[in-house]
Structures are given as structure tokens and as C-alpha cells.
Structure 1
Amino acid sequence: MNRVSLSAIILTFNEEIHLQRCIDSLKNVCEDIIIVDSFSKDKTKDIALKNNARFVQNKWINHAIQFNWALENCDIKKDWILRLDADEYLTPALQDEIIEKLNLIDLSVTGIMLPLQRIFMNRHLKKGYDEIKLLRIFRNGKGKSENRWMDEHISLSEGLTIEFSNSLADHNLNSLHWWTTKHNGYSIREAIDLLDIELGIVTHKKEISKISAQAAKKRKLKKNYAHKPLFLRAFIYFIYRYFFRLGFTEGKEGFLWHFLQGWWYRTLVDAKIYEIKKACGNDKEKIKDYIQKQYQIVI
């Protein structure tokens, strides 16, 4: 296969379980693979170097800051950039599509949307929500990550987007204990994001982002969700996904995914918002101080 003018950026922290699979899916597609690591303590570095990937380390703050740091500091020369998480990989069909099409795309196009294939407990989940398409490939110099605590998307400075037909796979191999621990950590970031939508607590400069139509639609729905009653909104969201969007047809794996990700996680987020508001009311400065003291996060 002929590689295309593409650099891949993979953010890592203790990803020895996933990294080789991710890199293997890139080897026929691009020569420039950049691992941006947050000082892993496992074999992540060894795997990266064994595969001749560029390996750099930077202190972790959040996904957006880490990815934008990579764009600014990794001297990327290729025409296109691909953003991947270590537990994601390019399906063989997507690899072929990138090689076939990427170098032939009109210059007016600066971003490419990829369908997401969700695999949970080794089952490909297809029901429960609309098809997810993510802007993950963009022209060098034309995109960066939005500066958000959660649900950050690639924002383009100019140009059009197109969609590829074949999927990017998201398939985490860790245990449910790991998954729930990770989402407990995510929950305070999600709480901050929802509090910011409701009260405007984040002090960074708000950016005007040119994100995909699907991401903009999701952002609008999230703003609507943020103003709905605590706890009730999580329950209704689960009912919608599991019953009305046919999540129940996906077996035990589907039940666990929609219950844990669609109800348990969002109830945990609401519990943290409730805790914060009970202590601070709607006082923005008190909320920021509380989050810093209780969760060691500076907003």
C-alpha cells in the first residue's frame, strides 16, 4: 500500500493494552505516528519506540490542551492530521478508503468526518442513539481542539467538511472496574461543563468554534439538557435510549452500556452538581473555590 501525507496524533497514559493495536491500524496508512504521553508507568513508551513512532511527553491537564500542545510543539510536516485515542483503531475498510481518497480531495475541503463504531464488552452496539460521525481528519494548520472540559471537538478555521463511508472503531479492552473508575473521574468534568452552560463559571475566553453540523446539534441538545431538572433528566435520557431507540435489542451488553453510560454516569454527574449547588448555591466564585478544594481542579 502507498502511504498518504498524514500524521496521526495519539494521546496516551498507561495504554499498553491498546497501543499496539492502534499503531498496527496506522502502519499501512501513514509514516508519521506521534505518541503524546502523560508520563505513563507501564510499557507505553516501549511499544511506541519499538514501532518507530515519535514519542513525546507532556503534563496532562485535559484532552483539548494536550492535543493542541501536540499541534504546536511536534513540528508536523504532513498535509493532513488524524486524531486518535489509544483505544481506537482504523478498520481495514477505513484504511483502504483513506489511502484511496485522501490525496485526491479538493483544496476547499479541510475536514473529514468518520463514522464511529462503538464496541462494548466485545459487542458492536448499533442501537440506542443516532449514528455518530466525528471530525477526526483535518488539514494541517486548519484545525485544533475546542478548549472545553468535556465533549471537545475539532474546530476548523475555514473550509468544508466531507464524510467517509467506513468506520473508526472505539473498542476499550479494560475491565468494568476500570471503566467505572474512569467515568467517575469524567463526571466532575461533565459537571463543570454543565454548570458552565447553566451559570457561566469557566473563566477562559469563550471561543467561536466552527464544528461539524452533528457536533453543533449535539451541543444544542446538551444546552437544552443542562436546564432540565437534576436526576429526572438522566432517567428520561436512559428511557429514551434503551426503549425508544431500541437499545434493549442489544442483549446484556446493550443493557449494561445504556444503563452505565446513559443513566448511572449521568446520575453521578447530577449528584456532583447537586453537592456543589447545595454547598454554594449559584455563586460562581464559591463554586469554583469548592471544585478546586474538593476535586483539585482549577477552573
Structure 2
Amino acid sequence: MLDISVIILTYNEEIHIQRCLNNISDLAKAIYIIDCFSTDRTLEIAKQYNNVIILQNKWINYATQFNWALEHAPIQTEWILRLDADEYLTPELKLELKQKLPTLSNKYTGIVLPLRRVFLGKTIRRGMPQIKLLRLFRYGKAISEIRLMDEHIQLAEGETIEFKGEFADDNLNNLSWWSQKHIGYAIREAVDMLDIELNLTGAAQTDEHKQISTQALQKRMKKHQYAKQPLFWRSFAYFCYRYFFKLGFTEGKEGFLWHFLQGWWYRTLVDAKVFEIKKACGTDREKIKRYLKEHYNISL
């Protein structure tokens, strides 16, 4: 085993949790399930593994829950891996970790890992750049930044290094579940767009100075440019760019559904939320904050 603790945030993940735990139980010294009171068999399954420790905490948001885990879990390893229940490490990444992690220079406190996107059972390669995320870090050297959406691990000190092996995001739920989840995401993404445009919280203005992965920072700066483009036109243009210019159409029916749903439908829904809020409040920041609290229970 490697000197790694894995933190997995769960709520009703019985469809994924066994696959995830089977994948990492032979690699990590400890696996911390931070559960927000699941009502399915998630915890029953997790209790079958000797190196799994279960903690429960009320859900606020992903970043707050993860940081709570860092503070309250009895972590005794040098490294922490953030993993979602619907994710797993590829054999190539597991081998790379075994070969490189024990002798890695102390100057590296974070490890950036490439993401393999799996949708409806198909790996999607074209239409989007390879996503690389800081998911592995030395204990005490990083926390999750506090955001409503698109939160990343942020280093407090040290440098990052990139590994080549991928981890996979492979959700097994059906499209109805996927769509409903993205309806929930849309309001948070809309608030993020409004924050960039109108400086609702001030957090978006400090993005370029954060010590997150280089690609995550570049993606966020592109998001700032995207937020300046006209509503609805930008989501259509984004889909065309991904599907035609970045060759998303070569990924078959699964690729079409992925780029249409995630690149156009979802982005259009975000714009619809922005339009709704602006129609009710204009660009009055205080009025927008009151509207978000009243209609979506979001406090800024």
C-alpha cells in the first residue's frame, strides 16, 4: 500500500461505491467516506472494507464538505487523494503512483492528474481539451477553494507535478438523473457567471492569483471571457466549436449527446437562469442577492 488516504464524499452512491472501493482499497492505507446521511446501501457496502472509515456530516456544498473532512478525519498519511464515488484510477495511473510517489521530491506538494471522461460507456476524447486536475496533495499543504461551482484544490505552498496516468469519471446513472443534476448545477453556474460580470462576491476577481493547476486557471480565465459574450449566442457558438471545429462529431452518437447536452443544452439553461435573474433584478447587486436567497436559497 502507498502512504495515501482517500477522501470520498457520498450521498446515495450504492451504484458506484463498490466499484470505487474495489479500485483503490489495495492502494490506499485509509479511505474516508464522508457521508451526508445516505438512505440507500452506500454505507452497508462501505463497511465491508477493512480500511474504510465512515464519518457523517450535514451537506452544505462540495468544498465545505471536503474541507470538513480534512479537519475532522483522523488522517495519518503523507498524501491525500480526492476521489468521487463515480470515479476510479486506471491501471496505468495506479502503476505510476506505485513507481513515483515513494521517491517524489519534497518540493512537490501537489500532483495533477489527467481526467478520462466516460459518457454512456464511451470514452470521449475529441471536442474538448484533456482536463487535468490537482487531485493528490501532501496532507496539510492544500484545501478546497470555497466556490458554488467549479471548485478546485488550492495549494498553500510548494509546487505541482503532472503524472501521465488517468483517472476516470464514469457515472452509471441514467440520462434522467444526469439531466436533473445539471438543472441543479445551472443555477450555481449562473450565479458564477453573474459574479464574474457584476462582482457579486469579489471572489471571481481573485481567480488569476490562486495556486490551482495551470489548466484549471487557464480554463477559469476562458470562463471570464465567455461571461462577456452575449447570452444564448455564446452557448450555441460553444457547441459548434466543440462539435465541429474540435471534431466532437467523430465520437458517434454518444459524442453527439455529450456535446449537445453538456455543451449546448446545459449552457443554454445557465443563460436562461441569468436572463431570468436579470429580468427580475436588472444589474442591481443587492437586489440579485435577495432574489437568489428568496427563490433559490443561495446566500452570497
Q: Are 2:222 and 1:221 aligned?
A: yes
Cα distance in 2 for residues equivalent to 1:204 and 1:105: 33
- 2:108–2:160 contact (8 Å) kept in structure 1: yes
Equivalences, count: 297
Cα distance in 2 for residues equivalent to 1:45 and 1:287: 40
- The DSSP-based 3-state class of the residue aligned with 1:210 is coil
2:26 equivalent in structure 1: 28
1:280 equivalent in structure 2: 281
Q: Are 2:112 and 1:113 aligned?
A: yes
Residue pairs, 1:240-255, within 5 angstroms: 240-255=241-256
CA RMSD of aligned residues (A): 1.3
Cα distance in 1 for residues equivalent to 2:270 and 2:147: 16
- 2:195–2:204 contact (8 Å) kept in structure 1: no
Per-residue deviation at 1:123?
0.3
Q: Which amino acid aligns with 1:175?
A: N
- 2:196–2:204 contact (8 Å) kept in structure 1: no
Per-residue deviation at 1:202?
2.6
- 1:276–1:287 contact (8 Å) kept in structure 2: yes
Q: Which amino acid aligns with 2:225?
A: N
Moved more, 47-56 or 235-244: 47-56
Per-residue deviation at 1:137?
0.3
Percent of paired sites with the same residue: 58
Cα distance in 2 for residues equivalent to 1:23 and 1:212: 26
- 1:10–1:86 contact (8 Å) kept in structure 2: yes
- The DSSP-based 3-state class of the residue aligned with 1:85 is coil
2:41 equivalent in structure 1: 43
1:199 equivalent in structure 2: 198
Per-residue deviation at 1:261?
0.2
Q: Which amino acid aligns with 1:193?
A: D
- 2:189–2:270 contact (8 Å) kept in structure 1: yes
- The DSSP-based 3-state class of the residue aligned with 1:99 is helix
Per-residue deviation at 1:223?
0.5
2:6 equivalent in structure 1: 8
Residue pairs, 1:66-145, within 5 angstroms: 66-145=65-144
Q: Are 2:56 and 1:57 aligned?
A: yes
Cα distance in 1 for residues equivalent to 2:159 and 2:16: 32
Per-residue deviation at 1:203?
7.0
Q: Which amino acid aligns with 1:246?
A: L
Moved more, 203-212 or 279-288: 203-212
1:182 equivalent in structure 2: 181
Deviations 1:159-218 (A, max 9, x none): 111111111000000000000000000001101111111111137798652111111100
Q: Which amino acid aligns with 1:4?
A: L
- Cα 1:132–1:205 change in 2 (3 A) is closer
Cα distance in 1 for residues equivalent to 2:291 and 2:48: 44
- Cα 1:282–1:205 change in 2 (3 A) is closer
- The DSSP-based 3-state class of the residue aligned with 1:127 is coil
Cα distance in 1 for residues equivalent to 2:49 and 2:194: 42
**Normalising to structure 2: TM-score of the pair?**
0.96
- 1:13–1:44 contact (8 Å) kept in structure 2: yes
Q: Which amino acid aligns with 1:15?
A: E
2:238 equivalent in structure 1: 237
Q: Which amino acid aligns with 2:70?
A: L
Q: Which runs of 4+ in 1 moved over 4 A?
A: 203-208
- The DSSP-based 3-state class of the residue aligned with 2:250 is helix
2:156 equivalent in structure 1: 157
Deviations 1:85-112 (A, max 9, x none): 1100011221111112111100000111
- The DSSP-based 3-state class of the residue aligned with 2:69 is helix
- 2:239–2:264 contact (8 Å) kept in structure 1: yes
Per-residue deviation at 1:72?
0.9
Q: Which amino acid aligns with 1:174?
A: N
Cα distance in 1 for residues equivalent to 2:54 and 2:168: 23
Instruction: Specify every segment of 5 or more residues in structure 2 that has no aligned partner in the other structure, as ranges.
Output: none
